[in-house]
Amino acid sequence: MVPAHQGRAGRRAGPPASEPVYRPLLAGRRGEFEALRHLDPRTAALLSPVIVLSTVDRSTLDALGRLPAGLVPAVDLRAVPHTPEAEPARWGVPVIPVVGLTEDDHRLVAYGAAARSSAQRAVVRLPADRSWTGPDAATAGLERVCRLTGLLPEQLDLLVDAGDVCCPADVRLAESRVRRVLEWARRHPWRSATVASGAMPPALSGLPTDEPVRVDRWDRVLWRRLADLGVGYADYGITPAGPVDREPGDRLPTVRYTAGDAWWVYRWSRRGGRGDERFADLCRTLVAAPHWAAAGAAFSWGDQEFLRRARRVTGAGSPTNWLAWGTSHHVAQVLAELVAPQRERRAADGWSARHRPPRGTGRPAAPR
């Protein structure tokens, strides 16, 4: 059995001061955990990250336990074998379980126990791809989830995952699929509904070096095309959708910097100087660019670190650090792009009001 973590052990998650407006899907890499750890309490309350874990060990629980107190992450354990160590209720760290409609019975029971011991809710992650089997099968799956977890639909946050969207054709196809899933979803009284997608290319080795390269954020385009549905926003941070076995990118100094409808990818070769000097040159180019955050270093912890390297205050760091600093800026940028928290809460209420079925037993409505 994994021993209970001592940092946040036993601490139950109370109701958030602000309803989260952003649900990034992160793969539980050290750099991503480090970015989350540097969130201030106000920002942490606006975030509900979904941590997609490939393993559960002491370091994972330590990382979860060091997150800000106001941030309760959701954990997706689909890639982890179902063992006692992989039951979140045993961890002593407040988390929100992520469930699928086809989970086995034992795992759903364990997720229900985890939900009741912490946040009193769960996330249902539903892929919007060819695996979608239609409304009848989805409703039967939802009824089973509610029965085995002991949760009502009103305690479930729906996360519709569109996966990779890397071009206009991908966006059009994903939009059609997402709308089909949400047409079914509006028959049930979800706590909230969010759409996730990712647009970062799976490999950057083909991009030019020693100059910033624009990469379009097609995931943001997809979400804007779904604005009429009033759904929340999720993405894959600054990494590709899908599993990544190591820190993204190669060993060249690499920064992914989010700005509006694009990322600016900086890959600096090691020609013409030592690694520290080359990364300092990269950061000097970044902080002099038009897309450098308007607030400068005060915009995020990551921006502070980029400026420190531009000024040669300290060394270049590692790929883990570059991921951490880029993720920190990305989170701040996305939150700046989204509507104010009060309007976002009204949008969530709008989803419930528009799509909630008539009051009844609280069980999922029968398909029409």
25-354, CATH topology level:
TIM Barrel (3.20.20)
Say how far apart CA 339 and CA 343 lie, in whole Å. Answer: 6
pTM: 0.86
Amino acid 349: pLDDT: 53
How much is the average pLDDT of 272-280?
78
Give the CA distances from residue 140 to residues 57, 135, 195, 253, 258, in Å, rounded to whole numbers and listed in that order.
34, 9, 22, 49, 40
Does residue 365 surpass a pLDDT of 70? no
- As a whole number of angstroms, the distance between CA 289 and CA 286 comes to 5
**Does residue 317 have a pLDDT over 50?**
yes
pLDDT, tens only, 41-53: 888 989 999 999 9
Reported as a pLDDT band with limits 50, 70 and 90, residue 118 is confident
Beta strands across the sheet bearing 192-198: 25-26, 50-52, 74-76, 96-99, 122-127, 156-164, 192-198, 232-235
Query: 264: part of which helix (H) or strand (E)?
Result: strand 262-267
- Tell me the percentage of the chain whose pLDDT exceeds 90: 67
Q: Give the pLDDT band (50/70/90) at residue 204.
A: confident
What residue segments make up the domains of the chain, in order of their start? Answer: 25-354
CA–CA dist 26, 32 (Å, integer): 7
The residue-averaged pLDDT of 126-139 equals: 90
Cβ neighbour number for residue 59 with a 10 Å cutoff: 12
Report which secondary-structure segment, H or E, holds 196.
Answer: strand 192-198
- In degrees and rounded to multiples of 5, residue 25 shows phi and psi of -95, 115
The confidence score (pLDDT) of residue 280 equals: 93
